[in-house]
Amino acid sequence: MMRDKSKDAWQVLRIQGEFTKGFDTFSELGPCVSVFGSARTTEDNQWYLEARLFGELITREGFGVITGGGPGIMEAANRGAHESGGKSIGVGIELPFEASMNKYVDLGVDNRYFFTRKVMFLKYSQAFVIFPGGVGTLDELFEAITLAQCGHNVKYPIVLVGTKFWSGLIDWMKETLVSEGTISEKDFDLFRIVDSAAEARDKIMEYHNKYMTTPEYLGPKTNF
């Protein structure tokens, strides 16, 4: 059975349309931090509260907050940014089991394709903060680490929140990946692990001050 090439052509146009819409929508965003984490985290959870506080703290430093626009950690970070008068951005994904955007998103776009969505996260962020999450969160974390490791993107801080949560993964990486020679010890310098919103904010600001970049260091990355 021959493949219908016309469907591929229409898919290419749809993908192009998603990129165009995202680039147009976010063209004047300014400096932002992407926040990743579980959509299943409830409002009374420790990490929801920390993500909400982080959204508030980082907007006070002049950064906007970008999330996947969904519930849980995403909602919490958007909420903190929105309630503090900062920029609250959502990059949503069309899923049958999840509402598109939480009510704290002030500027957002929906995507059909996960890879177009991840480009928006990475293109418009000057830092990445990863709260406890599942498979999707791990995907986003390793995407950011991979680009930093390969030197494909400009340098940016990657901060994991929750030492206890992440320690098992880090131990496995050291005991298995390093011992097998698939990564090196210096790859662990690509990220930092903290336990609070304030520490995450501090790590980002230390990094930006060190590399002479401030919230006035604007503009999306171009080397994708």
- Tell me the angle at which helices 73-83 and 46-60 cross, rounded to the nearest 10 degrees: 40
Average pLDDT over residues 186-212: 92
Rounded to whole angstroms, how far apart are CA atoms 52 and 94? 24
> What pLDDT was estimated at residue 53?
98
Which residues, including other chains, have CB under 8 Å from residue 58's CB and lie 6 or more apart?
33, 65, 81, 86, 201, 204
Select the CATH number that applies to the domain covering 31-210 from these four: 3.20.20.80, 3.40.50.2300, 3.40.50.450, 3.40.250.10: 3.40.50.450
Average pLDDT, the chain: 89
Enumerate the domain spans of the chain.
31-210
pLDDT for res 2: 60
The whole-model pTM stands at 0.89
Do the strands 88-93 and 64-67 form a parallel or antiparallel pair, or are they unpaired?
parallel
pLDDT, one tens digit per residue, over 159-193 is 999 999 999 999 999 999 999 999 999 999 999 99
Report pLDDT for 5: 66
Beta-bridged to residue 129, according to DSSP, are: 35, 159
Instruction: Tell me the C-alpha distance between 123 and 7, whole Å.
Output: 28
3-state secondary structure the chain: CCCCHHHHHHHHHHHHHHHHHHHHHHCCCCCEEEEECCCCCCCCCHHHHHHHHHHHHHHHCCCEEEECCCCCHHHHHHHHHHHCCCCEEEEEECECCECCCCCCCCEEEEECCHHHHHHHHHHCCCEEEECCCCHHHHHHHHHHHHHHHHCCCCCCCEEEECHHHHHHHHHHHHHHHHHHCCCCHHHHHHCEEECCHHHHHHHHHHHHHHCCCCCCCCCCCCCC
Residue 151 has pLDDT above 90, yes or no: no
Decide: 143 and 55 in contact? Cβ < 8 Å.
Answer: no
